[in-house]
Amino acid sequence: MRRSGGELTFQDLRERGTSVLLESGIPEAPRDALLLLQNAAGLDAAGLLARLDRPPPDDAAALFREFVARRAAREPAAMILGRTEFWGIPIRVAPDVLIPRPETEGIIEEALRLSARDGLGLRTIADIGTGSGCLAIALAAEFPDARIFAADISPAALDLARTNVEAAGVSARVRVIEGDLFEPMGSLSLEGGIDLVVANPPYVRRGEIDSLAPEVSRWEPRAALDGGPDGLSVIRRLIDGARRFLRPGGFLVFEIGHDQGPGILDLLDRSGFVEAVVAPDLAGLPRVVVARIPERDERPSSSGARKGQECSVC
Ligand SMILES: C[S@@+](CC[C@H](N)C(=O)[O-])C[C@H]1O[C@@H](n2cnc3c(N)ncnc32)[C@H](O)[C@@H]1O
């Protein structure tokens, strides 16, 4: 593919970038090399494929080499580009926030299911640990009548969340607030009045963080990952707060680690939630918990509140 004058083509760059990334142990090397080349050249996928046998402009080639060097040092591609997509919506990212993951979209799917199947009226939603704001923004897009309270303990994450909320055009309905879990909602008189609480809380066992892929352990904020010694420190407090802030009949939907289902179903049972289930994520792993607060007049079944609890894939 090298041209007669010795000039490198886009295809040469793509192949070289791919082999550098493969040598650095990056399994998704071909995909990332293509993505970084596209962005370095300011082209979409079709535009790049149509030009593979041509030489790139010098500045695009230089930028691509810089991107590849950063990616080879295990900086995530989304961090290098400063953006990703969640639920089809562009989201800006930086080292202050977790990069939104496709599997977290399962939370939006569950919210849509609750609204369609159970007729859950979604007027007031809380997104606890909003990070980039991805869940709050996707929910605002799906539920145009809802107001959403997006809370996080990290001021830097909230700055980015505000930018994303504004860029998505939903700032009139998404309120970004700082504080520890539900604490900022107390002063807004939301106790007992929230229809749906969603969260992707930190749930990694502290001792396991350093053994995660370098893209995660070195580049993503500890506060987004660290679930304490057993991974459940934040989840226990999330369940406790959701019990107080949800209205009767309201739902809690949150992401967990694939091996945490049974312990979390037990916590929900002891906290008075009913019909708790752990739904599979895109990879079929049990990662999305859905649980309900009983209605005021709802009596626990004879086998107790645990009836109906199941982990379909645990
Ligand atoms: C796993 S990240 C999830 C970010 C985003 N919701 C997503 O799904 O991509 C967890 C977030 O929870 C926030 N967080 C951690 N502890 C918190 C606490 N006690 N109160 C509020 N937010 C907290 C972190 O700052 C981080 O932004």
Closest protein CA for atom 9 of ligand 1: 100
Q: Quote the pLDDT of residue 306.
A: 45
Which pair of structure tokens corresponds to residue 119?
Answer: 């007729």
Q: Quote the pLDDT of residue 311.
A: 56
Q: Quote the pLDDT of residue 121.
A: 84
**What distance in angstroms lies between residue 35's CA and the mean position of ligand 1's atoms?**
28
* Distance in angstroms (rounded) separating the CA atoms of residues 131 and 221: 10
**For residue 41, which amino acid is it?**
A
* Distance in angstroms (rounded) separating the CA atoms of residues 304 and 250: 19
Q: Quote the pLDDT of residue 303.
A: 40
* Cβ contacts of 92 within 8 Å, gap of 6 or more: 82, 83, 132, 160, 163, 164, 167
Q: Quote the pLDDT of residue 4.
A: 44
**What distance in angstroms lies between residue 145's CA and the mean position of ligand 1's atoms?**
25
Place of tokens 């070289």: 16
First to last CA, the chain: 50
Our answer on whether the CB atom of 202 is closer than 6 Å to any ligand 1 atom is yes
Q: Quote the pLDDT of residue 302.
A: 40
Q: Ligand 1: which of 91, 92, 152 to mutate, most ligand atoms within 8 Å of CB?
A: 152
**What distance in angstroms lies between residue 194's CA and the mean position of ligand 1's atoms?**
19
Reduce the DSSP state of residue 228 to 3 states and report it.
coil
Q: Strands 174-178, 147-152: parallel, antiparallel or unpaired by DSSP?
A: parallel
Neighbours of 60 (CB within 10 A): 18
| pLDDT mean values, one per 10 residues, the chain (314 residues) | 66 97 96 97 94 94 97 97 97 97 95 87 95 98 97 98 98 97 92 97 97 96 97 98 96 97 96 95 91 86 46 54
* Distance in angstroms (rounded) separating the CA atoms of residues 132 and 93: 7
Query: Please, which residues bridge with residue 255 across strands?
Result: 288
* Distance in angstroms (rounded) separating the CA atoms of residues 168 and 258: 31
**What distance in angstroms lies between residue 266's CA and the mean position of ligand 1's atoms?**
23
Which pair of structure tokens corresponds to residue 128?
Answer: 């606890």
Query: Please, which residues bridge with residue 194 across strands?
Result: 246
Our answer on whether the CB atom of 130 is closer than 6 Å to any ligand 1 atom is yes
Q: Which atom of ligand 1 is nearest to the CA of 99?
A: 9
Closest protein CA for atom 11 of ligand 1: 129
User: Residues 63, 19: contact at Cβ < 8 Å?
Assistant: no
Q: Quote the pLDDT of residue 194.
A: 97
